[in-house]
């Protein structure tokens, strides 16, 4: 059956160069208007930038869920008290300070690094090649800069931020986020702008309201 088939010489594995593009993993946020789950692409193979506008508790919820998948948390803030419950949940996997110069700390177990900052200036990017997620928390959409001009996703609470995001990122669909309801979040990532009704576990609700 095999007579007449051509002979093929396979290359040695060490001679083959392969680059695997791993898509970002999604963190569950809640449901959209069609009751479909909405995932935030917050864990990628490289540096992922996430902006949070309008309510720091969105960042606390996101960080809590990322802790649940094994991330190490570094918090940069002038107000560590308001992040107290998150840091208690992080335990030994969380640190807090004002200077991120030593971040991300080297660790041999392959843990993903997460940096959350509510300082006025966005965090500096990590060293090249370090897979990590960086979250910058602000009250309003900031001016253009290296972080926000290249942001991978933005979460907003409250109306009034969509137009500013549209101007900053050149995304007309961001304007739709000015129509989100009082109990909704807005998500703008590289593919879409969508209103999200958050789904919270009891532990998350207690984390956010401080009980």
Tell me: the pLDDT tens digits for 41-63?
888 777 899 999 999 999 999 99
Secondary structure letter of residue 69 according to DSSP? T
Instruction: Provide the H-helix boundaries in the chain.
Output: 56-67, 84-90, 162-169, 202-209
Residue 137 covered by a domain: yes
- φ/ψ (deg, to 5) at 67: -60, -35
DSSP assignment string, the chain: --TTPPP-PPPPGGG------PPPEEEEEEE-TTS-EEEEEEE-SSEEEEEEES-HHHHHHHHHHHHTTTPEEEEE-S-GGGGHHHHHHHGGGEEEES--TTPSPP-TT-PPEEEEE-SSSPPPP-STT--EEEEEEESSPPPP-TTGGG-SEEEEESSS-HHHHHHHHT-GGGGGGGG--TTEEEEEESS-EEEEEE---HHHHHHHHT-
Run of H or E residues at 134: strand 132-138
Residue 121 covered by a domain: yes
Residue 18 covered by a domain: no
User: What per-residue confidence (pLDDT) applies to 178?
Assistant: 96
Residue pair 157/139 in contact (Cβ under 8 Å)? The answer is no
Residue 113 covered by a domain: yes
User: What per-residue confidence (pLDDT) applies to 26?
Assistant: 81
Residue 15 covered by a domain: no
User: What per-residue confidence (pLDDT) applies to 98?
Assistant: 86
> Number of structural domains, the chain?
1
140-148 contact pairs (CB < 8 A, 24+): 140/53, 140/54, 140/164, 141/53, 141/165, 141/168, 143/168, 144/168, 146/122, 147/49, 147/51, 147/122, 147/123, 148/51, 148/122
Residue 132 covered by a domain: yes
* Model pLDDT for residues 131-151, shown as the tens digit of each residue: 789 999 999 999 999 999 999
User: What per-residue confidence (pLDDT) applies to 81?
Assistant: 93
- Ordered per-residue pLDDT tens for the chain, 211 residues: 545 544 444 444 444 344 434 444 588 999 999 999 999 988 877 789 999 999 999 999 999 999 988 889 999 999 999 999 999 999 999 999 888 776 776 665 667 889 999 999 998 877 666 778 999 999 999 999 999 999 999 999 999 999 999 999 999 999 999 999 988 999 999 999 999 999 988 888 888 776 4
Residue 119 covered by a domain: yes
What CATH number is associated with residue 81?
Answer: 3.40.50.300
Range of the domain at 175: 23-209
């Amino acid at each position: 059956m095999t007579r007449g088939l051509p002979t093929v010489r396979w290359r040695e594995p060490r001679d083959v160069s392969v680059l695997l593009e791993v898509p970002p993993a999604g963190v569950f946020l809640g449901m959209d208007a069609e009751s479909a789950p909405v995932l935030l692409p917050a864990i990628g193979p490289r540096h992922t930038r996430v902006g949070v506008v309008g309510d720091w508790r969105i960042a606390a919820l996101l960080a809590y869920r990322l802790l649940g998948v094994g991330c190490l948390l570094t918090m940069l803030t002038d107000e560590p008290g308001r992040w107290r419950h998150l840091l208690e949940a992080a335990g030994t996997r969380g640190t807090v300070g004002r200077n991120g110069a030593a971040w991300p700390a080297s660790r041999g177990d392959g843990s993903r690094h997460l940096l959350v900052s509510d300082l006025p200036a966005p965090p500096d990017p990590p060293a090249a090649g370090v897979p990590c997620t960086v979250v910058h928390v602000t009250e309003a959409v900031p001016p253009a800069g290296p972080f926000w001009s290249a942001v991978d996703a933005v979460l907003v609470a409250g109306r009034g931020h969509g137009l500013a995001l549209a101007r900053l990122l050149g995304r007309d669909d961001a304007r739709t986020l000015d129509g989100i309801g009082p109990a909704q979040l807005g998500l703008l990532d590289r593919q879409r702008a969508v209103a999200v009704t958050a789904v919270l576990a009891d532990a998350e609700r207690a984390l956010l309201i401080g009980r």
